[in-house]
Structure 1
C-alpha cells in the first residue's frame, strides 16, 4: 500500500466527498478517484459505497481507516526523528470557542507562537457536538470542550480546569443586590449566545424544570452579550473569566445565584490516535498554562 494512496483515502473518508478531498489535497478530482480505485484494487475490496452524489465507507473501509491513520501518523513521526530536528514542527488544527480563545488561551497561544514558530497552528471556532464530531472524523487534531461531562464516546480528554460561571446584569437591574431563587429568574429578560453552548443549554434546562417559559435574546458573540447586559437589556449566564474585567470596573454586577451544574474546560482528541510530538507538546503546555492560571482542576 502506497502512503500517498492512504493519505488520499484518509482525506476522502474524513470529508466523505471526492470533490472536497481533491480541493483540500490540491489534486484534480480524477486523480483522487483513480488513487482510491488503485487502493481498492490492491486490497481487493471496495472501500466506499457510491450512492449517487454521496459516498460512505464500506465495512472494509471502516476497518482500514484506523490503520491508515496510524501508518500516516507513524510515517510523519519517523520523518521527524530521522531528520533529527530538535525544534518541534508540523501542522496542528485545534477546535475551540470564543470564550476560551479570547479569555483563557492567549498565554498558551503566545507561548507557542514565540517558542515553537515551526508549529503551524490553526484555530477553528466550533462548539459542543461540532467539535466532538470533527475530532472523531480526524478533521481536528485537538479540541477544547467546555462540558459538564468528562467522558465522551470515541474521544480521550484531559480536564484543564473547572470553569466558574457568573450570572450578571447591569448595576441597576431589579435583581441586583437582593436574594432570590431560580423561580425568580423565570420570566426575566435573558441574554445569551447561540444555542449549543453548554452553559446556555444547561441554564435553559434548569429554568424549564421550574415550569417556566424561557425566551433568550440571542447575540452572536460574548462581547455583544456583555454589552447588552451592561445596557440593561437583561441578565446573562457567562463564564466568569469572560466578565472579570466588567465586574472589576462595575459596568456589570454578579447576581447571587449559583448554577446547580459544574462545567470543566477540557482538551480532547480521538481515542487511539497516536499524537505526534508537537501535538503532545501542545497538550502538555495547555495542561500547565491553563491549569496553573485557574488552580487545580
Structure 2
C-alpha cells in the first residue's frame, strides 16, 4: 500500500465525497477516483459503497481507516524525528541537553525563552550534570548536546565549540576582613574560611588545586550557587564563582569582589558526539547558542 493512496483514502473517508476530497488535496477528481480504485485493487476488496451521488465506507473500509490514520501519523512522526521538522515545516522534536547549574541559571534563560516562544515544537530536556558525566553521556548517545565550562577545549570523542570565555571572580561579604585588602596572595586565601559548590564543579576544583600547596583546603559546601552566595553574603567565607552569577549582588553591594585574579581560564562550550549527524532541531539549537554568545559578547550587550 502506497502512502499516497492511504492519504487519499483517509481524506475521502473523512469527508465522504470524492469531489471535496479532490479539492482539499488539490487533485483532479479523476485522480482521486483512480487512486481509490488502485488501493481497492491492491487489497482485493471495495472500500466505498457508491449510493447514487453519495458514498459510505464498506466494512473493509471501516477496518482500514484506523490503520491508515496510524500509518499516516507514524510517517509524520518519523519524518519529524529524522529531519527535526513536523508537517507544518516548523522545527520539532526533543533535544536532550546536559548542562550545569551556573549555565542553566545564568547563560541559558534567553535561549530557553527563545525556543519556548518561537519554536514551540522543539522540546528541551535539561539534565543537570557536571563535566565528566556530561561528556560520558554525550559519547554514549544519552545526550544530544552538552554545555560545558572547562579549561580544556578538546575532548576525547567529542566535537566542541567555544561559545565564550567565562570570567571568574572571588567574592566575600562586605564585612569580611579580606574585602578591603589589596594584592591578595594564595596564602591569604588559604587561611580564610572557604565556601563552595560540590566537588566536580570545574571552578571549585581548579580553585582547590590552586590552594592545595598551602595545605589541604577545607570547603563548606552549600550545593547550589544561590545558597553559596547567601553564605558568603552572611560572612561565612569567600567563594570563587562565575562573574555572570554575581552581577546583581555586586551591583547592590551585597557581595564584594576581592583583589585576586584567578591564574586559570574557563571556557563555556557546546559539545556533541564526534561524527554524529545532528538533527535539524539540534543544529538550530547550536546556531542559536552561537548567535546568543556573539550578542552577549558584543559592546553594549547586557
Asked whether the two chains share a fold, i.e. TM above 0.5, the reply is: yes
- Please list every run of 5 or more consecutive structure 1 residues that lacks an aligned counterpart in the other structure: 1-74
Match of residue 267 from structure 1? 270
Q: 1:290 aligns with which of 283, 288, 293?
A: 293
Q: CA deviation at 1:295?
A: 4.1
Q: Distance in 2 between matches of 1:195 and 1:81?
A: 37
- Secondary structure of 1:219 counterpart: strand
Retained in 1: the 8 A contact 2:84–2:280?
no
Residues in 2 aligned to 1:82 and 1:102: alpha-carbon distance in whole angstroms = 28
Pair 220,81 (structure 1): closer, same or farther in 2 beyond 3 Å: closer
CA drift of 1:213 comes to 2.3
- What residue number does 1:153 align with? 156
- Corresponding position of 2:125: 122
User: Which residue is equivalent to 2:189?
Assistant: 185
1:85-234, aligned counterparts within 5 Å?
A: 85-179=88-182, 180-209=184-213, 211-234=214-237
Q: Distance between the aligned counterparts of 2:105 and 2:81, measured in 1?
A: 35
In the superposition, the TM-score normalised over structure 2's length comes to 0.70
Maintained 8 Å contact 2:95/2:123: yes
Contact 1:105-1:290 at 8 Å conserved across structures: no
Alignment partners' CA distance in 1, 2:293 and 2:226? 22
Please tell me whether the aligned partners of residues 138 and 145 of structure 2 are also in contact (alpha carbons under 8 angstroms).
yes
- Bigger CA drift: 227-236 or 200-209? 200-209
Partners of 1:81 and 1:100 in 2: CA distance: 25
The separation in 1 between residues aligned to 2:88 and 2:252, in whole angstroms, is 48
Q: For the aligned residues, what is the CA RMSD?
A: 1.8
Alpha-carbon shift at residue 285 of structure 1 (Å): 0.2
Note the C-alpha offset of 1:293.
Answer: 1.0
Greater alpha carbon shift after TM alignment, 76-85 vs 221-230: 76-85
Q: Secondary structure at the match of 2:269?
A: strand
Partner residue of 1:40?
none
What secondary structure is seen at the aligned counterpart in 2 of 1:285?
Answer: helix
CA distance in 1, matches of 2:140, 2:131: 15
1:81–1:102: structure 2 CA closer, same or farther, 3 Å change rule? closer
Q: Specify whether residues 219 and 168 from structure 1 end up closer, same or farther in structure 2 by C-alpha distance, changes over 3 A only.
A: same
Which 5+ residue runs of structure 2 have no aligned equivalent?
Answer: 1-77
| Cα contact 1:230–1:252 (8 A) shared by 2 | yes
- Take 1:295 and 1:193, find their aligned partners in 2: how far apart are those partners? 30
CA distance in 2, matches of 1:82, 1:158: 25
Superimposed CA distance per residue, residues 17-42 of structure 1 (whole angstroms, 9 cap, x where no aligned partner)? xxxxxxxxxxxxxxxxxxxxxxxxxx
Aligned length: 221
